Amino acid sequence: MTGSVERGLLLIGGGRMGEALASGLRRHGRGGEIVVVEALAARRAELGRAGLAVTASVEEGLAMLAGPPGPPVAQIGAVIAVKPHDVQAVARDLVGGAGRGGPEGGLELTRVLSIAAGITLGDLDAWLDPVPVLRAMPNTPALVGAAASAVAAGRRAGPADVEWAKEVLAAVGTVVELPEAALDAVTGLSGSGPAYVFMLAEALIDAGVLAGLARPVARDLAVQTLLGSARLLAETGEEPASLRAAVTSPGGTTAAGLRALEVAGLRAAVLDAVMAATERARELGRH
């Protein structure tokens, strides 16, 4: 809008995911001025020691980001990273706080991204009307800048809003845009996926110990094997089946191990896990 200037980002919720987003954006020089809203005093102190601007309420956060009265108006975006049952109250505070300021108060809330699980775009559109909204599902590797995230746009969100959301999420990993109907499958695959990988890591470590390795050695070897395999898959662009075949000699040790995994039903178990998590995400969304 004429007479407006990009100002910054209000990040509501200073948990681990909120901190990861704020730190990632700051590290990449994105998002402009960033203010984190966190209700817990002890957590605010931790975030402050990490060098983040932090406050206790949405109203205070908006005031920190607002420009002086009159043009140019400060345009800000907001990210909601709180528990699902707190989202409606946060939305009310956002709309009320920005509305009280208005152009005369030097503030315009331009778009909102929610990463709260199970809160639909329909709810967000209703609670934040008329602000464009987006919904995303990042996963916990965001904590180390390696998230897999998916974002879906609400009915008022345009291409510029989607690009803004992608930029926010790209600060902690990779991002894909999908329709909202696909987000439950994203939850089942990449949202819950780190837990499946951690369980595999546990099993590999225990197996190494069973085979005679010291636990610290088994841990180092298992973690590096998972990390190296993921990098090989990502950086070569080859299909998993091709890379698996390259490691498998006829009648060799890997072939014997793979046969044991097939007999145990590993592939079917993974399919069942993703589908079970997807269905549970759908159930939670309905309630």
| Choice between 282 and 68, residue whose per-residue pLDDT is larger | 282
- What is the reported pLDDT for 98? 72
Q: Is residue 211 part of a domain?
A: yes
**Six token digits for residue 121:** 């775009």
Q: How far is CA 50 from its chain centroid?
A: 20
DSSP labels, 75-143: EEEEEE-S-GGGHHHHHHHHHHHHHHHTGGGTEEEEEEEE--TT--HHHHHHHHTTS-EEEEE--GGGG
H/E element holding 154?
none
Domain for residue 96, yes or no? yes
pLDDT band at 8, cuts 50/70/90? confident
pLDDT band at 72 (very low <50, low <70, confident <90, very high): low
* Strand, coil or helix: 70: coil
| End residue of a domain, out of 130, 153, 181 | 181
- The structural domain count of the chain equals 2
User: Does 63 have pLDDT greater than 90?
Assistant: no
153 and 227 assigned to the same domain: no
Whether the predicted pLDDT of 73 surpasses 70: no
Domain membership of residue 67 as a residue range: 4-181
Q: Which of 155, 181, 207 is the last residue of a domain?
A: 181
Residues shown for the chain: 287
For residues 88 and 55, state if they share a domain: yes
Q: What is the C-alpha separation between 19 and 136, in angstroms, rounded?
A: 16
Q: Are residues 126 and 150 in the same domain?
A: yes
Pair 198, 128 in one domain: no
Structure confidence at residue 275 (pLDDT): 97
Amino acid 71: pLDDT: 60
Residues 64, 9, single domain; the answer is yes
Binned at pLDDT 50, 70 and 90, residue 28 comes out as confident
Is there a single domain that holds both residue 160 and residue 280? no
Mean pLDDT of the chain: 90
The angle, 0 to 180 degrees and rounded to 10, between the axes of the packed helices 193-210 and 266-286 is 150
In tens, the pLDDT along 81-106 reads: 999 899 999 999 998 877 654 444 56
Residue 187 domain flag: no
> What integer pLDDT is reported at residue 184 of this predicted model?
92
Residues 107 and 143 reside in one and the same domain: yes
The domain spanning residue 83 has which CATH number? 3.40.50.720
Mean pLDDT of 260-273: 97
